[in-house]
């Protein structure tokens, strides 16, 4: 058996060479990190759940015309994706004050924002993913003005869609982080959604109780992390009943 070629290993995912040129295999690990990997744990079954939730979300976004890297799920922890040239930005969209926005501007967590706010962070772990402006992005050629316009429009569309999708199952979308990449078609390139959308990269609160159903449970030592992720999957109809997560698989 030949060993698959590892292209990149991140904190929560590994990318392997795909079966055809222009494809990659995205593997979801159980590893969880927070505060730039100062806090670490293995949450058994997280990779399986995030693979399924991200598949679900990307498939639905594709059906409303939000182009993204997802091709198909291959196994419990793996999905086939389009290879993209990652734009080195974390694009954050916020509807309700929480996390670093609350800290930075002194806003109480849970305060609705006057309108959805999009922020850009430069993807660099050594620097702690600093907040940057469009000026930095264009000056350093991380993305063009046209690409920024496309990213802003797509992000607002994704926010509207996800707000409705989660709202329908009693979950409030507080904020989320997404990443984009370029795919080339001859000399032209297009920006598409990449990475993942899961409780690792969103703040999701129960609409009635405001209970947190996302990675803040890990960041803030609230316990029941996997149970909460599973609850999100269950409400979306992905896992019909609470699965037992065994040996990284789902029974």
Q: Which of 171, 186, 174, 181 is nearest to 231 (CA)?
A: 171
- How many residues bind ligand TMP (CB under 6 A)? The answer is 12
Taking CB under 6 A as the criterion, the residue among 12, 32, 92, 143 binding ligand TMP is 92
Q: In the numeric block, which tokens belong to residue 13? A: 């995912």
Taking CA atoms, 212 is separated from 108, 186, 209, in Å, by 16, 45, 9
Asked if 176 touches ligand TMP (CB under 6 A), the answer is yes
Asked if 173 touches ligand TMP (CB under 6 A), the answer is no
Taking CB under 6 A as the criterion, the residue among 84, 202, 225, 233 binding ligand TMP is 202
Residue nearer to ligand TMP on the CB measure, 199 or 243: 199
Q: Which residues contact 197 (CB under 8 A, 6 or more apart)?
A: 53, 54, 57, 58, 61, 162, 176, 178
Asked if 212 touches ligand TMP (CB under 6 A), the answer is no
25/15 Cα distance (integer angstroms): 6
Q: What is the closest distance, in whole angstroms, from the C-beta atom of residue 171 to ligand TMP in the complex?
A: 13
Asked if 132 touches ligand TMP (CB under 6 A), the answer is no
3-state secondary structure of 153: helix
Q: Which residue is nearest to ligand TMP (CB)?
A: 99
Q: In the numeric block, which tokens belong to residue 126? A: 């050594």
Q: Which residues contact 204 (CB under 8 A, 6 or more apart)?
A: 166, 171, 172, 173, 174, 212, 213, 214, 232
Asked if 99 touches ligand TMP (CB under 6 A), the answer is yes
Angle between helices 225-235 and 46-63 (to 10 degrees): 30
Taking CB under 6 A as the criterion, the residue among 25, 58, 89, 101 binding ligand TMP is 101
Asked if 162 touches ligand TMP (CB under 6 A), the answer is no
Residue nearer to ligand TMP on the CB measure, 14 or 98: 98
Query: Using CB under 6 A, which of the segments 13-21, 110-118, 155-163, 172-180 binds ligand TMP?
Result: 172-180
Q: ∠24-142-69 over CA atoms, to 5°?
A: 25
Q: What is the closest distance, in whole angstroms, from the C-beta atom of residue 165 to ligand TMP in the complex?
A: 16
Q: What is the closest distance, in whole angstroms, from the C-beta atom of residue 3 to ligand TMP in the complex?
A: 30
Asked if 204 touches ligand TMP (CB under 6 A), the answer is no
On whether the CB atoms of residues 191 and 147 are closer than 8 A, the answer is yes
Residue nearer to ligand TMP on the CB measure, 15 or 243: 15
Asked if 203 touches ligand TMP (CB under 6 A), the answer is yes
143/24 Cα distance (integer angstroms): 23
Asked if 177 touches ligand TMP (CB under 6 A), the answer is yes
Q: What is the closest distance, in whole angstroms, from the C-beta atom of residue 97 to ligand TMP in the complex?
A: 9
Q: In the numeric block, which tokens belong to residue 104? A: 């930075």
Residues engaged in binding ligand TMP (CB under 6 A): 92, 98-101, 129, 175-177, 201-203
């Amino acid at each position: 058996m030949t060993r698959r070629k590892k292209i990149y290993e991140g904190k929560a995912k590994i990318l392997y060479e795909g079966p055809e040129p222009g494809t990659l295999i995205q593997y979801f690990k159980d590893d969880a990190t927070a505060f730039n990997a100062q806090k670490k744990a293995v949450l058994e079954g997280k990779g399986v759940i995030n693979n399924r939730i991200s598949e679900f979300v990307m498939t639905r976004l594709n059906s409303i015309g939000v182009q993204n890297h997802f091709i198909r799920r291959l196994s419990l922890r793996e999905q086939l994706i389009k290879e993209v040239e990652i734009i080195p930005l974390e694009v954050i969209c916020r509807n309700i004050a929480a996390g670093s926005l609350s800290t930075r501007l002194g806003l109480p967590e849970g305060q609705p924002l006057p309108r959805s706010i999009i922020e850009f962070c430069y993807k660099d772990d050594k620097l702690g993913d600093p907040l940057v402006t469009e000026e930095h992005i264009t000056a350093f050629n991380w993305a063009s003005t046209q690409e920024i316009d496309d990213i802003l429009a797509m992000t607002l569309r994704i926010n509207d869609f996800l707000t409705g999708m989660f709202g329908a199952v009693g979950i409030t979308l507080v904020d989320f982080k997404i990443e984009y990449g370029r795919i080339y078609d001859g000399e032209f390139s297009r920006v598409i959604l990449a990475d993942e959308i899961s409780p690792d990269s969103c703040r999701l609160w129960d609409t009635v109780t405001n209970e947190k159903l996302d990675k803040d449970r890990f960041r803030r030592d609230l316990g029941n992390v996997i149970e909460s992720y599973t609850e999100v999957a269950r409400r979306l109809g992905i896992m019909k009943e609470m699965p037992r997560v065994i040996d990284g698989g789902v029974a």
